[in-house]
A and B are shown apart, each in its own frame.
Chain A
Amino acid sequence: MFLFEHDAKVLLGTFGISTPEGCWVDAAGRLDGTLPSGPLMVKAQVAGGGRGKAGGIRRAADAEQALQVAAALQAAPLGGLAVAGCRVEQALDDAREVYLSLTLDASNAQVQVLVSDAGGVDIESADPASLVRETAALDAPAIAAATRRAAQRLSPANRDAVVEAGERLAAAFVALDAQMIEINPLFVMRHPHVDAARWVAADAKLITDDNALYRQPALAALVERAAGRYPEAARKWRHGCDYVVVDPAGEIALLTTGAGLSMMLIDELRAQDLRPYNFLDVRTGGLRGDPQRLIDVLGWMREGTQVRVLLVNIFAGITHLGEFSRLLVQALDAVPAFRVPVVARLAGPGFDEAVEVLGARGVKVEADLTRAIESVRAALCRGTSAPGGAA
C-alpha cells in the first residue's frame, strides 16, 4: 500500500522523524489537524511521483491563500493521478536538500540504502556518481549501520543528520513491515534554531505491505478511518478480495478469480475494443459457503453507470463450481437492482452441476473463454435498446 505523504509523515513522526507541522485539507476545505501559521506549502496528495514538476506543490503566504490553493489543486487530476486531498504545512527555508531511501530489494531479499547530497526533484537525473549505495540484511541495526557507512561518503555537513535519520528510519522500516521509505528531500538546516530540529523530512514516501496489515494496528486503523483514501486496501482488509475500477465508463463488469487471469482478461477484452469496468480477484476459495462477498461485489458494480453486462470467469483449481453457482444465484437474487445480462465462463470440477444451477436461473454457461467473450459482445449489441435481459 502506497501511503499518501501526509499519512506517511504522521506515521514516521511516531518513530522520531521530524516533519514540518501540517494538516490534511479535503476537497470541501475541511481540516484534519490544525493549520500551522506563517508561510505555508500546499501539496497535492497523489499516489505517484513527479508531483513537484507537475505543479502539485505551491507556496502560500497565509492560511486563507493556502485553502484557496488547496481547493484549486483538488479540482483536477495531477499528471493523470487523482488528487486525494492536500497537505498544508509550514514552509521551511535555508536548508540543504539530501536524499535518503531504504528499499526492500525483492530480488536479493535485502535492504538497499541510497543516499545523496543532491536531493530534491532532480534526483532521477542526478549524476549517478552522487548516489551512494549500501546494502543490509533486513534488521534495524544492520540497516542503521549501512546508512552510517553510506553517510561517510557524503559532505561532512550532512553526515550527522543522515546517520540520525537513518537510525530512526531503519527502526520504522522493520517495525512497519515497510517495502520502501524515501525521504526526498531531507532538509538539513543551515542555521537551525537552538530548540528546533537540525534536520526535517520535507517529503516522505512510504510503501507498506498489505499482507502484514493484520499485525500493523496503526496502519489498519488508518485504512479503517480513511477508507476513502485507500479504497483498494480497505476493500481487501474488510472483504478479503481485490477490486479495482479500471475504467469508470466501462461496460463489462467482471466477476473473476485469480489476479493474473483477471488482468489478462482485461488486456484481451481491450485488445478487442471492449470496455471492462473493473479488475477483481474474488478468491472463490475464501467464500466458504457464504454469498456475502459476491453480494458486496455486485453492489460495488452497480456504481458503474455504463455497466451493461456481467462476465463471470472462474477457472477453478480448488473451488467446486456447483457450490459456487449456488452462491452466485443467491447473490444475484440478493442484489435485484443489478439487472444486467450475465455470461458465465466456467472450467473445473462440478461444471455439469453449475450448468444446471445457472441454467435454471437463465444464465448460459460457456466452457470456452473465447466463446464467452463473443456472448458478451452479443449481449452488448442486444442491450443497447433494452438492458435487463436474461438476469
Chain B
Amino acid sequence: MMPRPVFSLSVDRHTPVLVQGITGRAGQRHARMMRDAGTAIVGGVSARTDIGPVDGIPVFGDCADAVAATGAVASVLLVGAAQVLPAVTEALAAGIRLVVTPTEGVPVHDAVEIRNRVDAAGAVWIGASTPGMAIPGEAKLGFLPDVSLAPGPVAMASKSGTLSYEAGFRLVQAGLGQSAWIGVGGDPVKGTRFADLAPWLARHGRTEAVLLVGEIGGNEEEEFAQAVAASRLDKPVVALIAGRTAPGGVSMGHAGALTWGSFGTWEAKRAALAGAGVHVCATIDEAVKALARALGAARG
C-alpha cells in the first residue's frame, strides 16, 4: 500500500479558493457567505458559464481555466453525490492542493477511489459529508455557522456537523473560540481521519487544547487514541462521542455510524481515548467546562 501523505493545512485569508458548482442553489449562496467570512473566493466553476459572474465572482467552464486565471490552490465542491468523484478528479488535474467536499451521500466505493487519487496527487481532502473547515477570523471553506465561530485556542475536529455546531456555539458562549475547526465528516471512508490530524495538532502553534467530536461506528476514535501518543500530542484533549445509547446494527444517519458487536461502540471508544489521557465527557456542557478548566490550568 502506498504511504499516505502527511496531513498539513495552511489556510488563511490570502489562500485563493474556488467554488466548484458555484451556479447551483447552494453554490451561489455559500460562495457569498464564505466570502463574507473572509475567505478569498477567487472564482467559480460550472458548466453554466452563461449565467455570468456570481456576486462578482468570475465563473469558469472548468478547473484548469479557473486555476490558470486565478492561481487557486483550494476548492470547495458543492456538487451532487454522483459528481463528487469526477469533480475532485478535475480539481486534482488542475493542480488544486486542498479539496473540501461537503456533499452527503457519496457512495463508499467512490470515496475509496477519490482517496486513492488524492493520495497519489499528494493533496489533502476534507470530507465527504462535512460542513467543511474554518480558521476563525481568517477563512471558512464550507458552511460552519458564524455564530459558532470565534478565534480562540481550541482546535475542533468533528464527524458530525450539527453536534459540532452546538459544541462550537457553547464554546463561543463560554468565551472560548477555535484555532482551527476541521469537520472530517460522517462517512466511513474519507479524506482526512481524526488520526491524520494528531501530528498537525501537536505542532499547530495557535492550538492550546483539542475538542474531538466523535460518534459511534468505525474505529477513528480508537485510531486517534493511538495517534495521541505516537505524535506526542501533549495538549489537553477533550472528547464528546454521540450515540452512547444508540441501538446496534442500524446506521444512525451517518453511513459511518454503524456499530457491530463490540466494534465501534461508545464504550470501546471511551476506553481507548481514556487510555490515551483524553477526557471523555458525557454531555456538551461538561466538555466545554472541561476545556475551560484545562485552559485555565495551562495558563494559570
What is the interface of chain A, defined by CB distance below 8 A to chain B? 1-2, 47-49, 81, 104, 106-110, 135, 137-138, 174, 177, 179, 209-212, 214-215, 232, 242, 244, 246, 257-264, 266-268, 270-271, 279, 281, 283, 285, 315-318, 347-349, 369-370
A73 to B243, CA, bound (A): 30
A258 touches B246 (CB 8 A): no
| B218 part of interface (Cβ distance < 8 Å) | yes
Q: A138-B113, A267-B245 are in contact. Are A260 and B219 (CB under 8 A)?
A: no
Closest 9 CB pairs of A and B: A260-B160, A258-B162, A259-B253, A260-B163, A261-B162, A281-B253, A212-B107, A263-B242, A106-B188
Q: Which of A104, A209, A266 has the largest number of chain B CB atoms within 10 A?
A: A209
Q: Which of B109, B240, B242, B248 contacts A48 (CB 8 A)?
A: B248
Q: Is the CB of B109 within 8 A of A209?
A: yes
Contact of A106 among B218, B243, B285 (CB under 8 A): B218
Q: Which residues of B contact A268 (CB under 8 A)?
A: 282-284
Q: Which residues of B contact A1 (CB under 8 A)?
A: 251
A289 to B220, CA, bound (A): 36
Min CB distance A140 to B, Å, is 12
Chain B residues near A260 (CB, 8 Å)?
A: 158-164, 186, 213, 215, 242, 253-254
Could you say which of B108, B166, B186, B257 contacts A179, with CB atoms under 8 Å apart? Answer: B108
Q: Which of A107, A242, A315 contacts B252 (CB 8 A)?
A: A242
Contacting A at CB under 8 A, from B238-273, are 240, 242-257, 261
Please report which residues of chain B, range 164-197, place their CB below 8 angstroms from some CB of chain A when the two chains form the complex.
164-166, 169, 186, 188-189, 193
Indicate whether B69 reaches chain A with its CB closer than 8 angstroms: no
Secondary structure of the B side of the interface?
loop
Determine the distance from Cα of A318 to Cα of B166 in the docked complex, in whole angstroms: 14
Is the pair A107, B162 in contact by a Cβ cutoff of 8 Å?
A: no
B108 touching A209 by the CB < 8 A rule? yes
A179 touches B188 (CB 8 A): yes
Q: Are A317 and B131 in contact (CB under 8 A)?
A: yes
* Complex contact B107–A215 (CB within 8 A): yes
CB distance from A78 to the nearest CB of B (A): 13
Chain A residues whose CB sits within 8 angstroms of the CB of B253 once the complex forms: 242, 258-260, 262-263, 279, 281
Residues of B within 8 A of A135 (CB): 1
Given the complex of chains A and B, what is the CA–CA distance between A315 and B163 in angstroms?
9
Contact with A along B40-69 (1 / 0, CB 8 A): 000000000000000000000000000000
CA distance A232 to B251 in the complex (A): 8
- A267 close to B219 (CB less than 8 A): no
Q: How far is the CB of A254 from chain B (nearest CB, A)?
A: 12
C-alpha spacing A316/B188, complex, angstroms: 24
Give CA–CA (A349, B144) in the complex, Å: 12
Instruction: Indicate with 1 or 0, residue by residue over B139-153, a CB within 8 angstroms of chain A CB atoms.
Output: 000011101000000
By CB atoms of chain A within 10 A, which of B29, B107, B186, B218 has the most? Answer: B107
Complex Cα gap A110–B1 (Å): 9
Q: Specify which chain B residues have a CB less than 8 angstroms from the CB of A108 in the assembled complex.
A: 1
B249 vs chain A, min Cβ distance (A): 5
**Min C-beta distance of A111 to chain B, whole Å:** 9
User: Residues of B contacting A281 with CB < 8 Å?
Assistant: 252-253
Which of A209, A257, A266, A318 is within 8 Å of B26, CB to CB? Answer: A318
B108→A212 contact, CB < 8 A: yes
Kindly report which residue of chain B lies nearest to residue A264, judged by CB atoms.
B242
Q: A260-B186, A260-B215, A261-B165 are in contact. Are A246 and B261 (CB under 8 A)?
A: no
Q: A177–B109 contact, CB under 8 A?
A: yes
In B95-109, the 8 Å CB interface with A consists of: 104-109
